Chains A and B, each alone.
Chain A
Amino acid sequence: MKFSIIIYAAPYSSQAATSAYHFAKSVLAQDHEIYRLFFFSDGVYNANRLAVPAQDEFNVQKAWEKLIDEHQLDSIVCVSSALRRGIVDASESNRYELEAVSLSDKSTLSGLGQLVDAGVNSDRIINFG
């Protein structure tokens, strides 16, 4: 079955983002397909590459990066949610003359069209947060 997963929740504020990660992992472990991850609203913080959680804690951002990389997942971060929260890639950082690049290089900034497309092309859409 083809799944797309929408992550609305920020990491660490609640369990939802970590649950989304474990759900995604289980989907793949059971030989299903992930059509797209879509990080929306506060969920964009899951793609923040500048986070430094305590060493003995689960690093949600790193876990997502590893999963996306290992399975070559299509991971989209909502651009308008991201910009207002300071999650920027190199091109947005340049455009707005900012001092850092905060978006994980495993994810891509894009718009809601990608979410519509996920709805059309997936068997199931699962929300977290």
Chain B
Amino acid sequence: MVLACSIYDQDVSYVFLEDGVFQLLNDQQADSISNKTLGKALETLELYGVEKVYVSAKSMTQRGLTPDDLILPVEQISTEVLSQLINQSNCVFNL
């Protein structure tokens, strides 16, 4: 969806929330549970011009994660900043 937005020239912010933060974990071996490793796809975001990638600091803390655990550098944001971000956006998609 983020890539589709980018292809259609939309100004897009990508936010990882709740259990979604696990998508950002480095050293994933999803083939052992018959899945595709998502981390690899996330590394291509930059190529598509998606620069605003955020993760909820609260969701990270709740799951005992630190920036070192993540596959790419993302900005940690507070719940307050998240609500500002939602407020500033024309459209919010929850996936």
Contacts of B10 in A (CB 8 A): 116, 119-120
Contacts of B91 in A (CB 8 A): 119-120, 125
A111 interface contact, C-beta 8 A: yes
Select from chain B the residue with minimum beta-carbon distance to A122.
Answer: B91
Cα A117 to Cα B10 in complex, Å, equals 10
Interface size of B in residues (CB-CB distance below 8 Å): 11
A112 interface contact, C-beta 8 A: yes
Interface size of A in residues (CB-CB distance below 8 Å): 11
A34 interface contact, C-beta 8 A: no
Nearest CB on B from A122, distance (A): 8
Contacts of A76 in B (CB 8 A): none
Nearest CB on B from A81, distance (A): 12
What is the number of contacts between chain A and chain B, taking CB atoms within 8 Å?
28
B5 interface contact, C-beta 8 A: yes
At the interface, is chain B mostly helix, strand, loop or mixed? Answer: loop
Q: Which of B51-87 contact A (CB under 8 A)?
A: none
Nearest CB on B from A113, distance (A): 5
Nearest CB on A from B20, distance (A): 15
Question: Assuming the A-B contacts A125-B91, A125-B93, A127-B94, are A115 and B7 also in contact, with contact meaning beta carbons closer than 8 angstroms in the complex?
Answer: no
Nearest CB on B from A36, distance (A): 13
Cα A32 to Cα B24 in complex, Å, equals 40
Contacts of A127 in B (CB 8 A): 94
| Residue ranges of B at the interface with A (Cβ–Cβ < 8 Å) | 1, 4-5, 7-8, 10, 90-94
